[in-house]
Amino acid sequence: MLKTFLITINLQIFLYATNQIVLVVNEKENSSKAILRCFEGNKQIFKDIDVNLGKYGLAWGISDISLSHDKNEPQKREGDKKAPLGIFHLTSVFGYAPTVKTKMPYIHATKDLICVDTSTHKNYNQIITMPTKKPKSFEYMRRDDAQYQLGIVVEHNKQQQPLGGSCIFLHVQKKPDAPTAGCTSMRYEDIKKIVGWLDKEKNPILIQVPKKYLDAVQKLYPELSMSP
């Protein structure tokens, strides 16, 4: 029993320990506009960045890092046009170029690379090379536009919970005020800075919340500056 308890405590310490935080805050859950700030330790790295969220704002996502909240609040679902609310690991970077300057694992978005959003497929919510039998629903990682020219993978719904939401990224915006289908978008120049700063060894995370949850976030990460 003691051994199990210690393993649980050590796992919690690992999940919450981080040296790099990407903090995204909107005024209310249904707002598609937000401010992004990057922190390393207690230092803000860049100036505030304007970002776009899902068309209908935020809904609680699925993560192995929990944040106390009312369980009756909306949960993210496939196709709801809401970005995930909560705390998520940032696992890798992707883009159209063969290589980019980053300290994160990099995925080259070739023409046959896809992300599966068919909820019943075995590779749901995974980035894979197009199989011989195409999934019923998927998106190409190398698009005809620049939105996936550079992006960051958000570890949302790693458990592949059916209809729990899939293919969540930080990526290049379509235009300055254009909401997304469920991701977080920004100018290419801004995401390029973030990609160059992120370091896998520093366990980077995304914290994406409405303003009312900042007190709960600061209890977990007291080093963050929450001033407007």
CA distance 83 to 76: 8
Burial of 14 per CB tally in 10 Å (0-12, 13-18, 19+): exposed
Question: What is the rounded CA–CA span in Å between residue 35 and residue 72?
Answer: 26
Number of other residues whose CB lies within 10 A of the CB of residue 188: 14
Query: Which CATH superfamily includes the segment(s) 2-220?
Result: L,D-transpeptidase catalytic domain-like (2.40.440.10)
Reading the chain (228 residues) residue by residue, the pLDDT tens digits are 433 333 333 434 444 567 899 999 999 999 999 999 999 988 999 999 999 999 999 999 999 998 988 878 999 999 999 999 999 999 999 999 999 999 999 999 999 999 999 999 999 999 999 999 999 999 999 999 999 999 999 999 999 999 999 999 999 999 999 999 999 999 999 999 999 999 999 999 999 999 999 999 998 898 786 554
Handedness of CA 104, 105, 110, 112 (dihedral sign): negative
**Which residue ranges make up each domain of the chain?**
2-220
